[in-house]
Each structure stands twice: as structure tokens, then as C-alpha cells.
Structure 1
């Protein structure tokens, strides 16, 4: 695993956020409200930023000052968003990649591994939405995670 940022963030109680890529609009709005609440409460969240909903939840959380963990579905990048670097410098953001730097493309397999990493790092899980028989549904079933 590769790390960029404050590894001490991993000592916090962490809530993982997962969601299928395609989800109903009301789920998207509930996920945004959930993210705003986590930000306000100062709760540490572990999330990805592969799907649009993950990107939006991450951006909402990034506007706060609570600790935050971002898990990538690829290797660490060479260039980073300025706001990400600022939050790394503030010791409130940890970026994790379960892949080497030579993995530069997101695939179905890397996305699954990213989700598995989020699950392994988190003390509890919140699922915005899981498509019936979708990739996330199958992963949660395989790992016997039925109560989220």
C-alpha cells in the first residue's frame, strides 16, 4: 500500500462510505446530506472518488476540517489537486493507494480492490446505494456484510 499524508488519521474511528455508480436522485441527495452531517460532526470518513457520487461526497467532506481518508482505485498520481495538497499539509487528509504507481488506469478489478480496502480500513460502513446484483452488492454479499 502507498500513502500520501498523515497516517495518524488511521487511529481515528472511521466510517467508510460506498455507493454504486448509478443510483436514484433521492439517494444522491441523502448521500450529500449525510456527508454534510459527517463534516459538521467532525467524523473521520474513508471514501473513494471514482464514481460521481464518491467525488461529490469527497468534495463535500474536503470543505470541512475533520480527518479524511481517500482510497484510490489506481496508483498514486504524480500531480495533485491544490486543495488536496493543502489538506495534506494541514495533516487532515491521507490518500491511500492499494496499488503501485505503475497502475494508472481504473478497471473493474481495481475498483473492487479499492472498495475492499475501504471496507478493511473502516470501523463501520455506510452504503449510499447498492444496485441489486451489482458489483458492490456482490462484494458485500461475498464478505457477508448484510447490515450497513
Structure 2
């Protein structure tokens, strides 16, 4: 299969392009196939999954902007569903950079109308759009969003949860994926005490280059 696909291509479990991390962490719940649009070579790079609750304190919003700009400038490949307001703002920042981005909508990408701001990064071969959903799943639901988030977390090497509202869905999700043992990070703020209690490592914008180094660096906390 070509490394860059212009129309949605299906990666089946038996395909060499199918991400093995998805099988490792989702097991029997792993999708039978994944639809992909864009540069498949991005899957060979270390990735950082980004999540944030819909409700986010103002000072965490400011810190998130700073951290995401630093990630962009350091060339870190970020993956996410980019659905919550904060996540969408982060995607806008990332798409204006030069580093790879992986977007995973909570629906099929067959027949998906691409936002205009995606077209440039796709043409530059630094954007990959992935969906683990069947062609008939063309409307996002809360259930699909939950499945998508687990898919994103399974695929990524590390997880950055900017904020998880206490008692909210993101906090429950954070607790579930923390049990996987993947490196979990959050912003260094006392409103993230719930995430720090799960073992998340606090991160600040001025620490991004130290932890991630260049775009080809080994993921944070993975054996270093």
C-alpha cells in the first residue's frame, strides 16, 4: 500500500499497516478494520494523545495553549479526536505548524466532508485521518466518542490529559487508561490533583523540549 492515500483506505487486522498497539491494548475489542486517509508513515512515529474535558479552568486553558505551541514547535506528533472546545483550539494551533497530526473523528470517514483547514496539511503529507468505525456510522454519538477515545489512547505512545473535570467522563476514562501503564501526563496545576493522584506526570511548556527533544526522540518516560 502507498504511504499516502488520497481516498479512505481500509487497514484490516491482517494488514502490515494495522497498528499493533491497538491490538495489544484493546485485544478482542480492537476494530476489525481501520479506515485511513493521508500519510500512513506517520504511524511509524512516536505519538502523544491529547485529551481535555469540555469544562476547563481558565488558567489551565492558558497553560494548554502554551504546552501545545511548545509541542508543535518541538515537532511532536499529536493524535486526538479534537472534539471538546479546548481540543479543537489545540488542533487549530497544530495544523498551523509543520509537524504531523493524527485526527480520529468519532464517525466513519467514508463520505466525510473535510474541513478546509485540513486540506493543506493533507497535501503536505503531515496529516493522517483515522477511523475505526463502519461506513454506516456517519453520525457522531456519545458511545462512538467513547470508543474513539479508547482507540486513540491505545494507538498513542503517551497520553496528555490537559484537564479532567472531577467526576466527569474524562476522569473516568483517565482512570481506565491509567491502568494500562502507559506514560500519563497532565498540566502542572492544582486543579489537576485528581490526575496527579492517578500517577500522571506534571508537564510545563518550558519542559517540552527537555522531555521530547527532537521529533525523532524517544517518547517521554519510555525507558529514559
Q: Normalising by structure 2, what TM-score? A: 0.63
Specify the structure having the higher radius of gyration (Cα). 2
Partner of 1:22: 55
Partner of 1:50: 83
Q: Normalising by structure 1, what TM-score? A: 0.93
Shift of 1:101: 2.9
Partner of 2:67: 34
- Can you list the C-alpha shifts for 1:73-99, whole angstroms capped at 9, x where unaligned? 111143212231221121100011121
Tell me, which stretches of 5 or more residues in structure 2 are unaligned? 1-33, 181-197, 201-224
Partner of 1:111: 145
Name the CA distance, whole Å, in 1 between partners of 2:63 and 2:199. Answer: 18
**Higher RCO, 1 or 2 (CA under 8 Å, sep at least 6)?**
1
Number of residue pairs matched?
148
SS of equivalent to 2:128: strand
Tell me, which stretches of 5 or more residues in structure 1 are unaligned? none
Name the CA distance, whole Å, in 2 between partners of 1:69 and 1:123. Answer: 13
Name the CA distance, whole Å, in 2 between partners of 1:56 and 1:101. Answer: 28
- RMSD value over aligned CA atoms? 1.4
- Can you list the C-alpha shifts for 1:20-68, whole angstroms capped at 9, x where unaligned? 1111111111111111001111111112221111110011000001011
1:84 aligned onto 2:118:
yes
Name the CA distance, whole Å, in 1 between partners of 2:126 and 2:98. Answer: 7
Partner of 1:120: 154
Partner of 2:134: 100
Confirm or deny: 8 A CA contact 1:72 1:98 kept in the other structure. Answer: no
